[in-house]
Amino acid sequence: QVQLVESGGGLVQAGGSLSLSCAASGRTQYAMGWFRQARGKEREFVAAISWSASNSYYADSVKGRFTISRDNTRNTVYLQMNSLKPEDTAVYYCAASKTAYYHSDYYSDSQYDDWGQGTQVTVSS
């Protein structure tokens, strides 16, 4: 089992930037993803990255604005969020997948086994 702890959330004005971090402990040779859930809405995929960082995936709504990266020497995954919009307001969750293999796997929350507690991101207009 992987323990995941997110940090870096907060309040920012529209157009601003935030950087989220997800520190992993335990066995960490997994694909990693970021999901978010806004109040009253279902959890949605944001971005994911393969273990080797050779492949990354983004939701259309964040493509070109968000960048996912990882530092395997620090067991940490990052989500750099630029040009933030009020609709990016949500609780952001980091997740680890033992089974993601096909490209489509990375987009599905059912492929992720371990989840962090979430960090709130609020973008004011």
Quickly state the pLDDT bin for 18 (edges 50, 70, 90).
Answer: very high
Given a cut of 90, whether residue 34 has pLDDT beyond it is yes
Can you tell me the mean pLDDT for 23-41? 91
Three-state secondary structure call for residue 105: helix
Residue 98: the pLDDT is 87
Which is it for strands 114-115 and 90-97: parallel, antiparallel or unpaired? antiparallel
Burial code (b: 16+ CB inside 10 Å, e: under 16) for 42-71 equals ebebbbbbbbeeeeebbbeebeeebbbebe
pLDDT by residue (tens digit) across 98-124?
A: 888 888 899 999 999 999 999 999 999
Q: What average pLDDT score do residues 90-96 get?
A: 97
Could you count the other beta carbons within 10 Å of the beta carbon of residue 20? 23
Cβ distance 26 to 95 under 8 Å? no
pLDDT number for residue 100? 84
Residue 30 or residue 45, greater confidence: 45
What confidence category does residue 13 fall into, taking pLDDT thresholds of 50, 70 and 90? very high
* pLDDT exceeds 80 at position 81: yes
Percent of the chain whose pLDDT exceeds 90? 87
